[in-house]
Amino acid sequence: MTFSADHPAVAATGAVATPAEPVALLNREQAILAFNRRVLAQAQRPDVPLLERLRYITIVSSNLDEFFEVRVADALEAARAAGSDSPEHAALAEAATQAHALVDEQYAVFNDEVMPALARLGIEVINHAERTPAQRAWVAEFFEREVRPLLTPVGLDPSHPFPLVANKSLNFIARLGGRDAFGRESTIAIVKVPRVLPRVLRMPAEICGPGRQGFVLLSSVIRAHLGDLFPDRTIEAFSQFRVTRDSDLDVDEDDVTNLRQALRSGLTTRHFGQATRLEVVNTCPRELSDFLLEQFELTESALYRVNGPVTLVRLNQLIDQASDVPGQPSLFFSPVEPGWPASLPRERSIFATLRERDVMLHHPFESFDAVVEFLRQAVHDPDVLAIRQTIYRTGAKSVLMDLLLEAVRRGKEVMVVVELKARFDEEANINWAERLEAVGAQVVYGIVGHKTHAKLLLVTRREAEADGRTRLRRYVHLSTGNYNPKTARLYTDVGYLSADEGITAEADAVFQQIASLSRQQQPHHLMTAPFAMHARLVACIRRVANAARAGTSARIVVKCNAVTDEGLIRELIAAGQAGAEIDLIVRGACMLPPGLSGQTDSIRVRSVVGRCLEHSRVLYFRWGTGEADEVLYLSSADWMSRNMFRRIEIAWPVQDEGLRQRVIDECLTPYLHDACDAWAQQSDGRYVRIDTDGPSAQQALLTRYRARHA
């Protein structure tokens, strides 16, 4: 295997002095916020189509929602336990400061850059003050017909306490003047907006003017008619508000007899966990925001005053309804049209192809339909006896799940490992588990205390031998990403199909262990977590470090989504200090500070943020100059402690030399040369865009595959 000879990052490295003190690692929460700054920067790029720029703004909002639902919730708990003078409390305060700055920047990009640019093209969100009489009449009619019947304002008094407000729901608070129907001065009212109502409405073309696309936000519709909900009262002050809550399902897996039933019960209360953030509009009066903070038991640092709608994430509904402007450049990226993999001839059985060679699938450049076809052929092949598959995120609608149901009906042995605790996909996965069990599939839920994150699809087939006897042969699909056809068009991932007896036998052992809970022989080909993956990765890093100390070629390249496990980070630092050249291509959070003089000089960290979400995990280690002195793995796991010790994960070697080189040529080298979508991490955790009008790895791959499939 080779990297491009003109690789810009590789240089001769001399001896590096060992520092007296260990390297201080970067803060994880701040690293997550830094990633979202890189996403927001996409919304500021003039070369990105305008509606895609708006989409990046909504992605930042969605990411921040999860940040407050998960990371901040955990950090709050840790800070409370540690005390107000603890490092945990100080780190949380700094993360809050950076989050406020990021949100302010996000709304500035929204208000000052993206929306004015769309307005110049005739695409506008029209507020009440700007509406024509015809538009106001349309909004009023819509409010009376579709909205008002679903609203139930709650005036607060001792018999009407503050209502339960669901996580991320849209609400209004109002201070009322005058007296209520019973002659009392009840001053505060809450209006909860039902989730069933669309958040963005496109007005009819005839009231917008020729060539214009007019939109109105549901919050603006309600704001314009808020007074109609309180006849004979005056609205003295009001504000939209939205609260974010801890959304982890807290189920004691050791104390339940049926995890599925316990989780389904937990789904009903998830929306009402501990509050972590309060969003209000920047015109919200202080007494109203203070009142809300008190109700949600939040401090001032958790209050976010925003210059616009509190639900920017819902503007994806505008993107879905808007259309290109005639005579103008497209407002959208050109669609990704993944082609059928050339390595899988359509006229041949996939099983026949795999008996000859392994097959690599590179998504979204190659179609996920090949994975669906692999399962479809297994379902309809009378010689296939058994199918086993892991499910992490597959979606509420899934052709793969439908095929598994059909496999059971056709009498095949079907085992499905459904991860019930895949965050925010719990309900869909529970529903699939129940449907599969109802038709007779064997459904297991992984290991207590460990999420099943490995991506495996194993098929067992009876085949005839030349001597007339039959044998059972296994075929496997392994993947860095989920079994989700929708995200396979948006994420970069690598799938791998093989009939290799060693790999398929070890994949079978993974399923056996998950189902039986019995100890299995240590795999030779696969790395598996939580058992040996971490230790074997450490061994690989140390082998590279030893080669560097001996003065031979020593190289590590890791591409993944996060690097936060301290043990692996310390090993990388030690290898770099020994003289190994190390490149980390990390989309999201990386806690390793590169480029520190005398400490991490030979380690470089870069992040690529483009039109596709970088999701593939590729691990390359070289400890010499011979063919046997290097190895390349693909993996389901990021370099995080949870993946190494609290999840079922796999990594597998790419054994075919041609496929190994292809992984390097498509998944590593282009990203190390990217000078369009790449960012270089600095030693203090900041990122600097590598923008030299150079190549974009993703665009180069899209162009290459379009030509290949033409």
Distance CA 598, CA 17 (A): 6
pLDDT of residue 18 exceeding 50, the answer is no
- Name the range with the highest mean pLDDT among 129-143, 234-248, 252-266: 129-143
* Residue 56 known to bind ligand: no
Distance CA 333, CA 504 (A): 39
pLDDT of residue 115 exceeding 60, the answer is yes
12 membership: H or E segment, kind and range: none
pLDDT at 418 (0 to 100): 85
3-state secondary structure of 100: helix
pLDDT tens digit string along 287-338? 999 999 999 999 999 999 999 999 899 999 999 999 999 999 999 999 888 9
* Residue 491 known to bind ligand: yes
180 membership: H or E segment, kind and range: none
pLDDT confidence bin for 75, thresholds 50/70/90: confident
pLDDT at 8 (0 to 100): 41
pLDDT at 333 (0 to 100): 96
pLDDT tens digit string along 240-257? 999 999 876 554 444 444
Asked whether the CA dihedral 199, 102, 610, 421 is positive or negative, the reply is negative
* Residue 242 known to bind ligand: no
pLDDT at 536 (0 to 100): 97
658 touches 666 (CB < 8 A): no
pLDDT at 1 (0 to 100): 58
Is 709 noted as a catalytic residue in this protein? Answer: no
Q: Which two tokens stand for residue 466?
A: 């030349």
Q: What percentage of the chain has pLDDT greater than the value 70?
A: 92
Q: Where in the chain is the domain with CATH 3.30.1840.10?
A: 31-321
Residue with the bigger pLDDT between 138 and 523: it is 138
Instruction: Compute the average pLDDT of residues 412-441.
Output: 80
569 touches 590 (CB < 8 A): no
pLDDT confidence bin for 262, thresholds 50/70/90: low
pLDDT at 27 (0 to 100): 94
What homologous superfamily is domain 350-521 in, according to CATH? Endonuclease Chain A (3.30.870.10)
Find residue 244's DSSP bridge partners.
277
pLDDT confidence bin for 9, thresholds 50/70/90: very low
Distance CA 585, CA 698 (A): 14
**38 CB-contact burial (10 Å; exposed 0-12 / middle 13-18 / buried 19+):** buried
Instruction: Compute the average pLDDT of residues 415-424.
Output: 73
CATH architecture of 31-321: 2-Layer Sandwich (3.30)
349 touches 377 (CB < 8 A): yes
Distance CA 79, CA 68 (A): 15
In sequence order, what DSSP letters do the residues of 656-697 get, joined into one string?
A: SHHHHHHHIIIIIHHHHH--SSEEEEPTTS-EEE--SS---H
pLDDT of residue 370 exceeding 80, the answer is yes
In sequence order, what DSSP letters do the residues of 274-337 get, joined into one string?
A: -EEEEEEETT--HHHHHHHHHHHT--GGGEEEESS-S-GGGGHHHHHH--PPTTS--SSPPPP-
Closest CA to 247 of 427, 392, 66: 66
pLDDT of residue 152 exceeding 50, the answer is yes
Instruction: Compute the average pLDDT of residues 384-397.
Output: 88
Instruction: Compute the average pLDDT of residues 378-407.
Output: 92
Mean pLDDT value across the chain: 90
Q: Rounded to 5 degrees, what are φ and ψ at 701?
A: -70, -40
Distance CA 346, CA 341 (A): 9
Q: Provide CATH code, domain 528-709.
A: 3.30.870.10
Q: Where in the chain is the domain with CATH 3.30.870.10?
A: 350-521, 528-709
Which of 363, 453, 477, 534 is the catalytic position? 453
pTM of the predicted protein model = 0.91
* Residue 63 known to bind ligand: yes
Q: How many CB atoms lie within 10 A of CB 320?
A: 11
pLDDT at 708 (0 to 100): 85
pLDDT confidence bin for 160, thresholds 50/70/90: confident
pLDDT tens digit string along 562-610? 999 999 999 999 999 999 999 999 999 999 999 999 999 999 999 999 9
* Residue 258 known to bind ligand: no
pLDDT at 247 (0 to 100): 77
pLDDT at 14 (0 to 100): 39
pLDDT of residue 422 exceeding 80, the answer is no
Distance CA 370, CA 389 (A): 16
